């Protein structure tokens, strides 16, 4: 610098230093250390492992969730991984942790899970995703994340509880920056990616999205718990290393009186008799014989099931609403015939008068019945339950 004027090189150096400080500050706020990544990944791994066990009981299919991958992401990263509409499930924490996170599932995966929960084979996924699917997947997540909160309680050594999850179908292409869903999605956030497999029906990827404040809250909780454990271990080590007090010097034994001829000493047994005041030592070390046999099990048949477990699984979805449809009959018409419809047109159906009508639940035949009139409303009296679905 000469005459109080900065050269261009000095100006560039100052601007470069300022920019470097700002970037460092941003990185501290919107990044995670290696220790934080490892801890959050381990927490997510244990939590989702417990949730997978609960999902298995709901869908009665083998559920596998891979080891999580923790990364920093933006809304554009989410859009690149989920091109189609997907379901955002918000899990809010009411006790133990402050904040919420979002679980992202693909639309097709939600359809498969809900169909399995309702007793289907996981292939009835046609049609749009509706309120029935969202209600069912919310109930499933309530069970899954509830069990996950129990695992977190044991891990963090404090009570963890959640509010009932809420599910929404989101079109990512029409959502600009994610702030319409949650404010923390406007900038950078923590993304945890899992690979999920459900039998041979689902082979997909799910994501959990955390705000940085929530992720650090979990890390601080587990770090505090680890400090307590380490302090306890050090106390045990110090107690073990403490010098032990010296044992007192042994006192000389008092002289024993000499026994008289042919009389036993005090405390010694006579020939063939046990010691007075003491149990027979030979009886003390004798153990009764143990009869060891090989365990026998009945063969497990393909049709075996546990009715109690089955009833518990059904109880989990008792409150899920189902759509019941009564079908009087069907027919097919050409477009030309349909365009000719007018008031008074009679359409002939494929059933004759007096024939029973079909009852469908979520599009599946479940029963047959007959039409009745209840006061001023139509009703149906069930006459037959269909055990096997018609082809």
Say if pTM beats, i.e. exceeds, 0.85.
no
Retrieve residue 376's tokens.
């001023």
Residue 206 and residue 109 in contact, taking contact as beta carbons nearer than 8 Å: yes
> How do beta strands 364-374 and 357-361 pair?
antiparallel
Compute CA distances 369 → 93, 158, 323, 376, whole Å.
48, 55, 17, 19
For 276-313, the pLDDT digits (tens) are 444 444 444 445 566 666 666 566 555 555 555 556 66
The rounded distance, in Å, linking the Cα atoms of 130 and 119 is 18
Q: Where in the chain are all domains bearing CATH 3.40.1550.10? A: 11-224
Q: Where in the chain are all domains bearing CATH 2.30.330.10? A: 322-335+351-391
Residue 332 and residue 347 in contact, taking contact as beta carbons nearer than 8 Å: no
Retrieve residue 195's tokens.
């690979």
- CATH of the domain spanning 322-335+351-391, picked from 2.60.40.3140, 3.50.50.60, 3.40.50.170, 2.30.330.10: 2.30.330.10
- pLDDT of 244 reads 54
3-state secondary structure of 361: strand
What angle is formed at CA 55 by the lines to CA 317 and CA 218, rounded to 5 degrees? Answer: 115
The rounded distance, in Å, linking the Cα atoms of 153 and 225 is 11
Retrieve residue 175's tokens.
């959502």
The rounded distance, in Å, linking the Cα atoms of 215 and 218 is 5
CATH architecture of 11-224: 3-Layer(aba) Sandwich (3.40)
- pLDDT of 69 reads 92
Q: Where does 261-382 have alpha helices with state H?
A: 281-284, 307-315, 335-339
Residues in the chain, pLDDT under 50? 1-2, 16-27, 230, 232-233, 235-237, 239-240, 255, 257, 259-286, 390-391
Residue 368 and residue 386 in contact, taking contact as beta carbons nearer than 8 Å: yes
């Amino acid at each position: 610098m000469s005459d109080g004027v900065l050269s261009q090189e000095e100006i560039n150096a100052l601007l470069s230093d300022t920019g470097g400080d700002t970037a460092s500050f941003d990185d501290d706020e919107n990044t995670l250390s290696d220790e934080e990544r490892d801890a959050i990944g381990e927490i997510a791994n244990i939590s989702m492992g417990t949730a997978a066990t609960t999902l298995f009981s709901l869908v009665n299919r083998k559920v596998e969730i891979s080891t999580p991958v923790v990364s920093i992401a933006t809304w554009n990263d989410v859009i690149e991984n989920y091109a189609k509409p997907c379901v955002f499930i918000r899990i809010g924490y009411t006790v133990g942790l402050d904040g919420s996170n979002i679980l992202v599932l693909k639309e097709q995966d939600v359809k498969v899970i809900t169909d399995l929960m309702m007793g289907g084979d996981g292939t009835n996924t046609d049609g749009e995703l509706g309120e029935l699917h969202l209600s069912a997947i919310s109930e499933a997540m309530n069970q899954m994340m509830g069990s996950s909160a129990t695992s977190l309680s044991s891990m963090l050594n404090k009570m963890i509880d959640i509010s009932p999850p809420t599910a929404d179908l989101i079109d990512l292409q029409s959502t600009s920056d994610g702030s319409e869903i949650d404010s923390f999605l406007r900038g950078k956030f923590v993304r945890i990616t899992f690979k999920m497999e459900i039998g041979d029906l689902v082979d997909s990827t799910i994501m959990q999205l955390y705000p940085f404040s929530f992720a650090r809250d979990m890390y601080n909780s587990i770090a505090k718990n680890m400090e307590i454990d380490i302090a306890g271990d050090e106390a045990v080590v110090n107690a073990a290393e403490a010098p032990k007090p010296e044992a007192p010097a042994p006192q000389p034994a008092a002289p024993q009186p000499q026994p008289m001829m042919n009389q036993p000493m005090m405390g010694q047994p006579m020939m063939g008799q046990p010691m007075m005041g003491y149990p027979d030592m030979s009886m003390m070390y004798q153990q009764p014989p143990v009869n060891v046999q090989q365990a026998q099990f009945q063969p497990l048949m393909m049709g075996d099931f546990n009715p109690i477990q089955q009833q518990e699984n059904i109880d989990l979805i008792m409150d899920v609403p189902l759509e019941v449809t009564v079908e009087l009959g069907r027919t097919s018409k050409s477009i030309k015939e349909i365009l000719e419809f007018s008031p008074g047109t009679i359409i002939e159906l494929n059933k004759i008068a007096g024939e029973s009508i079909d009852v469908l639940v979520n599009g599946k035949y479940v029963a047959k019945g007959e039409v009745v009139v209840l006061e001023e409303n139509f009703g149906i009296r069930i006459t037959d339950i269909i055990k096997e679905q018609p082809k």
